[in-house]
Amino acid sequence: MRRYSFNVVLIAVASVVFALMANLVSGRLGFFGPYVAPMGVFFFPLIYVLSDVTSDVYGYRVSRYISWISSLCNIVFVVGILIVINAVKPAPWCTDSDNAIRLLMVGSSGASGMIRVMIAGIIGSVLGGWVNDIIFQIFRHVDGTAQFAKRKLLSSLAAEAVDTGVFITLAFAGAQGWGLAIYIVQFVLKYLVEVITEPLAYLLSKRLRAVEGIEVFEDRNKFNIFGFEKKVR
């Protein structure tokens, strides 16, 4: 059994933090020129950046595991908060805080807020991340450790398109501000973050390969979307 260094733990923690940050602020639409987009565009693309580095250095399976760990942590985070605020009556002088938390979690309608955003975010990131890992590994198999920018930017292009389509539809369909423009602005902004951070991702990948001293390539066809090895009949 291969043992990985503490760097994998750090990547997983960073992915969880970025996912929580993105889900917390994505319910807030901000203006970018005359158009609006979820504020999570500043944080969510960084998850794919880390996913590309993980796939490049540690392989498909580890990248999938981190994706699912991040999703599970988001679920635990929201469910834990909902249990606490509903199980314990707030002090009279804390009603403003209680109302603010409830508004953040469920929105003014009781069916939106972070819960809806989180569900949309998990589904979008799982599907987008899966596409990202598959395309990244295809080019990784062809190019080896060379051409990092090519496989990163091409895999992210497809992943961000899938994630944007799923996330915006599930999180904002029927809400104010929903329309074609929000899809385009979200995609452009997120992909722009990916392009800007590509040199840093390359340096991080190169550094981790040197530190780990391993060369990992895992055939994606051996694993399912969860990262578990497929059973051979």
Could you tell me the pLDDT band of residue 1, with boundaries at 50, 70 and 90?
Answer: very low
- Cβ neighbours for 201, distance < 8 A, ≥ 6 positions apart: 49, 52, 53, 148, 152
What residue type is assigned to position 15 of the chain? S
> Which tops the pLDDT comparison, 44 or 219?
44
Is the pLDDT assigned to residue 226 strictly greater than 70?
Answer: yes
Predicted local distance difference test score (pLDDT) of residue 108:
64
Predicted local distance difference test score (pLDDT) of residue 204:
92
The answer to whether 218 and 61 are in contact (CB under 8 A) is yes
* pLDDT digit string, tens, across residues 154-205: 999 999 999 999 999 998 887 777 888 999 999 999 999 999 999 999 999 9
Predicted local distance difference test score (pLDDT) of residue 200:
92
Q: Which of 8, 48, 6, 53 is nearest to 203 (CA)?
A: 53
Could you tell me the pLDDT band of residue 233, with boundaries at 50, 70 and 90?
Answer: low
Question: φ, ψ for residue 188 (rounded to 5)?
Answer: -60, -45
C-alpha 82/C-alpha 123 separation (Å) is: 20
* pLDDT digit string, tens, across residues 25-44: 887 888 888 888 888 888 98
Q: How far is CA 206 from CA 72, 145, 147, in A?
A: 29, 9, 12
Query: Is the domain defined by 6-216 classed in CATH 1.10.10?
Result: no
Which residue has 């996913």 as its token pair? 51
Predicted local distance difference test score (pLDDT) of residue 112:
62
* pLDDT digit string, tens, across residues 97-146: 888 887 777 776 655 677 888 888 889 888 998 998 889 888 888 888 78
Give the pair of three-digit tokens for residue 74.
């988001």
Predicted local distance difference test score (pLDDT) of residue 183:
93
Predicted local distance difference test score (pLDDT) of residue 18:
93
